[in-house]
Structure 1
Amino acid sequence: MPHEDKALERGLRELTSTDPVQALIAQDARRARREYPLTVLAGPMFGVAEEVGEDWRVISLGEATPQCSRDDLAGHLRMEARTAADPEPYLAAAHVLDWERHDELVVAGRRFRIIRVEQVLRMNLGEPEPPRPTDPDPRTPPPHRPEVLRLPAGAHGPETELELAVRFAEAIEYPGAPREQARADARRALDSHPVPVPMAPAFSVAEYLHDGWRSATAACPTPQRARECLAEYLQQVAPSVERADKATRAAYREAAWRLITTRLDALEVRGRRFRIVRLEKVARFGEDGPETPRPSDFDPDPPVEVLALQLRAEGLLDD
């Protein structure tokens, strides 16, 4: 009890002496660390960023493979060419990406990079962490604002760099997490890109299977969007895949309605258990900026024109 009294007193001091919103976020983060003390790597996502002064502006994020982000960069460069005084450098760079793998390009004096962002999931012994009370959760998507990455000057947000680095290292050491090559790459990243920079959280749907919780959707920007993804799955995908009978379809529809209207973060229907889970996004920074894809990252597809050549050779694509 004395420990709890001190924690409460410290929290009240924060609320009265600092930004009240940031103080609440900090308290929320400390509570999450107590209630969900395990950190597990949920796999990386990839995106495109542009260097702007000392910062990096995130153009796109959320792809499952580096090549998907390279394709996104090619598309972005073609869009930039439409308004550029001289479109040729942008079109030429996009053409290069159609044929070759590049994780960084300088185009018309502008520096673009494919970035790697780790997703970290908090858990306790029973379940993953749901959205926090202080997480923004609008019913309608907010206007898109590009996220900006920068090296912190010191302590930042609810956690210090040191605390975040320790948690990140612990996640890398989590038993059975990455395979050996991925583990070696992760250890190198601790040296080459030693500063973990937290980003806005993402949200996903997890389903409990026979051996634990498994991610069921891609990352979403808000908890409500994750609920909508689960509702769409229950209404449109699951009935067709399962060839569900009338009663099961009705149960799925009713569950989807409750999910959206009452903003549930946990749902059980027809013996299936779902959770809306919170994913912490972390970009690693070195002296030269954010980390690029690692050799061990899943990256099976070639550039689009190379893939087209392969498909034509196999008779799977007509000219």
Structure 2
Amino acid sequence: MSDYREETPAYLTIRVTQQEGPIAAFAEQEAWEATTRYPELMGVGLPEFFHARECEAGGWELLGTGTDAPQGSRDSLGSHFRLAAKNADDAGDETARRKWMAAARRMDREVVDDVRVRGERFRIVRAGRFVRMGPNGPEPPRPSDPDTAEVGEAYRLGPTAKGFVVDPFTGTGLSNGILKLELVDFVGVTPDSPPEVTEDARRARLEYPGGVLLPAVFMISERVDGRWRSFDPGAAHTTPQAARDSLASWLRVMAPFTLRLDDDKRAEYARIADRLDETRSNVTTVAGVRYRVTRVERLVRIGPDGPEGPRTSDWDPEPPVDVQTRQLKEQGLWKEEDEEEAAGPIELDERTLELQRLWEAEWERRKNKKRKGTG
């Protein structure tokens, strides 16, 4: 009698393996406790998109940072092709250069989510995002989550997903295996969801029944009128400190600008930002609104032909660059480079200048703080 595992495709399997080392064991324990403390799973706003390359040994390697719309990842894939063309040119391989450039130009003019170039296959990959919710709100960062960046310096860390191989054959701990099982069965729509979103979600559950978890990212949630919601829906911060830094920047720059705060309120918001920097806290309250650094799980759905690509209902507002250029020309809004030079520098209005001053003050504050810290 044959083993059933020999007949089960890899994308339908969840390989639970022993996680080696004390840190891995600690992370496994935390993941298990989270299922009890934060038992409810909820979808988070916009999905995330990556450009990826199929690996000869199996799986798909993510080639760069995530974007909140598919076209951003298509543009990144076009840049990847241009870099490959340059490398081929440097190596004196004219045939390879032409093929890579042809692929890059195609990305400029067409909506392409799956393409083969010189025997390699590339795809735009979709990752759904989820948070765990408990009686007291969304799950914050776990002690085992890496968080080594200095205050104000987290942006220097590279993306955690770059180089990650989306491969269902890779082993996982028991808790993450259970989470993966929950998420692949999770449709994540509400009665208020548009019909096309609901239809796409249900279709994806059938056509991509497997899944792979990506490293967790972090965002800021806010509690307004007794309900938690995403404060920065498109954000996917690499570390908890990167999320704190984004909130501190909002308090010092964007809040004064968008809310048109007076001097007293600006000083109050700046003091809250300073306290957030000093304590590295995951929670703070501003003007009666509660903010929390929130842990975000990400899942790439997998089917017989690999990872799920963009859905037709996904937010994708921009066309390829050549299409944008043509549209602007048809509307009379496009200017050639020599026309822009002849027109002279763009004059900024007072509101734009105000935002510029706020950011300049923030960067100067960071430089001074760093100088004092190393002095």
Q: TM-score, normalised by structure 2?
A: 0.75
Q: Is the 8 A contact 1:47 1:60 kept in 2?
A: yes
Deviation at 1:315, TM superposition (A): 1.8
Aligned match of 1:105 in 95, 99, 115?
115
Aligned match of 2:246 in 213, 223, 229?
229
Q: TM-score, normalised by structure 1?
A: 0.88
Instruction: Work out the CA distance in 1 between the residues paired with 2:177 and 2:258.
Output: 45
Matched positions, count = 302
Deviation at 1:114, TM superposition (A): 0.2
Aligned match of 1:124 in 134, 152, 158?
134
Aligned match of 1:48 in 30, 46, 51?
51
Q: Which consecutive unaligned segments of at least 5 residues does structure 1 have?
A: 1-16
Secondary structure of 2:124 counterpart: strand
Matched, 1:279 2:283: no
Instruction: Work out the CA distance in 2 between the residues paired with 1:127 and 1:160.
Output: 21
Structure 1 residue ranges, 4+ long, deviating more than 4 angstroms after superposition:
140-145, 160-163
Matched, 1:157 2:141: no
Q: Which consecutive unaligned segments of at least 5 residues does structure 2 have?
A: 1-18, 337-375
Q: Deviations over 1:13-47 (max 9, x none)?
A: xxxx9632222111101111111111111131111
Q: Deviations over 1:77-117 (max 9, x none)?
A: 11222112332111111111111101011112221110000
Aligned match of 1:166 in 156, 172, 182?
182
* Alpha-carbon RMSD: 2.2
Q: Is the 8 A contact 1:195 1:286 kept in 2?
A: yes
Deviation at 1:161, TM superposition (A): 4.2
Deviation at 1:175, TM superposition (A): 3.7
The answer for the alignment partner of 1:312 in structure 2 is: 329
Secondary structure of 1:136 counterpart: coil
Aligned match of 2:197 in 182, 189, 203?
182
Q: Deviations over 1:247-278 (max 9, x none)?
A: 21111111112212221100112323211111
More strand, by proportion: 1
Q: Is the 8 A contact 2:188 2:201 kept in 1?
A: no
Letter of the aligned partner of 1:82 in structure 2? K
Matched, 1:68 2:72: yes
Letter of the aligned partner of 1:273 in structure 2? R
The answer for the alignment partner of 2:211 in structure 1 is: 196
The answer for the alignment partner of 1:238 in structure 2 is: 255
The answer for the alignment partner of 2:27 in structure 1 is: 25
Q: Deviations over 1:180-233 (max 9, x none)?
A: 322222222222211111110010112223362232331111111111111111
Letter of the aligned partner of 1:88 in structure 2? R
Instruction: Work out the CA distance in 2 between the residues paired with 1:211 and 1:102.
Output: 43
> CA distance change for structure 1 residues 187 and 267 in 2, over 3 Å: closer, same or farther?
same
The answer for the alignment partner of 1:8 in structure 2 is: none
Q: Is the 8 A contact 2:200 2:312 kept in 1?
A: yes
Q: Is the 8 A contact 2:208 2:302 kept in 1?
A: yes
The answer for the alignment partner of 2:98 in structure 1 is: 88
Deviation at 1:174, TM superposition (A): 5.5
The share of aligned pairs that are identical, in percent, is 36
Secondary structure of 1:250 counterpart: helix
